[in-house]
């Protein structure tokens, strides 16, 4: 740096205004709001990334990041996950007893605003995670909670 060759200006004290509490708050907020939209990928199941525009994705993740805590994010995510019990065409109770623990499947969707109307778009798990920049593991934790409590109150 050229400045190093200049005589130091002693009167110029570096102004460091550290507010630790505020920084801690910001760091906490940063952890909650640092999710980024995942990369586009080729999805054979739902053609998820063709189903929404990049702008819709950005709007969604911005709304997600704006939620003030992990808890409120989790309940937001819960509202987008539906527990589906597997439908049986012919109920055979005598077989059900021997059946393995009941299989559950989960349906994921996202909500986008189109022409002022909220529209639910079904997506796969991979897309769901990419959409909010979250891990499968976080989704699994929410699924486990949903299984215990049943459907979330929306």
In whole angstroms, the minimum distance from the beta carbon of 61 to Zn ion comes to: 16
In whole angstroms, the minimum distance from the beta carbon of 88 to Zn ion comes to: 27
Residue 83, classed as helix, strand or coil, is: strand
Locate the DSSP E strands across 7-66: none
**Nearer Cβ to Zn ion, position 67 or 122?**
122
**Nearer Cβ to Zn ion, position 29 or 45?**
45
**Nearer Cβ to Zn ion, position 11 or 44?**
44
Q: What tokens appear for 47 in the block?
A: 């053609």
DSSP secondary structure code for residue 2 in this structure? G
DSSP secondary structure code for residue 63 in this structure? H
* Residues at the contact surface with Zn ion, assessed by CB under 5 A: 43, 46, 48, 124, 127
Q: Is the dihedral angle over the CA atoms 113, 114, 117, 120 positive or is it negative?
A: negative
In whole angstroms, the minimum distance from the beta carbon of 52 to Zn ion comes to: 11
Q: What tokens appear for 118 in the block?
A: 């909220």
**Nearer Cβ to Zn ion, position 67 or 111?**
111
In whole angstroms, the minimum distance from the beta carbon of 44 to Zn ion comes to: 8
């Amino acid at each position: 740096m050229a400045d190093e060759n200049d005589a130091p200006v002693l009167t110029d004290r570096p102004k460091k205004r550290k507010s630790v509490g505020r920084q801690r708050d910001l760091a906490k907020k940063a952890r909650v709001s640092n999710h980024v939209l995942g990369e586009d990928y080729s999805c054979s199941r739902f053609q998820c990334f063709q189903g929404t525009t990049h702008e819709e994705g950005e709007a969604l993740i911005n709304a997600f990041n704006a939620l003030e805590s992990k808890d409120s994010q989790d309940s937001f995510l819960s509202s987008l996950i539906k527990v589906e019990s597997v439908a049986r065409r012919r109920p055979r109770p005598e077989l059900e007893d021997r059946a393995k623990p009941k299989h559950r499947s989960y349906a994921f969707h996202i909500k986008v605003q189109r022409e002022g109307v909220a529209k639910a778009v079904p997506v796969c798990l991979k897309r769901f995670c990419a959409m909010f920049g979250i891990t499968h593991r976080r989704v699994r934790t929410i699924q486990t909670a949903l299984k215990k409590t049943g459907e979330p109150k929306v």
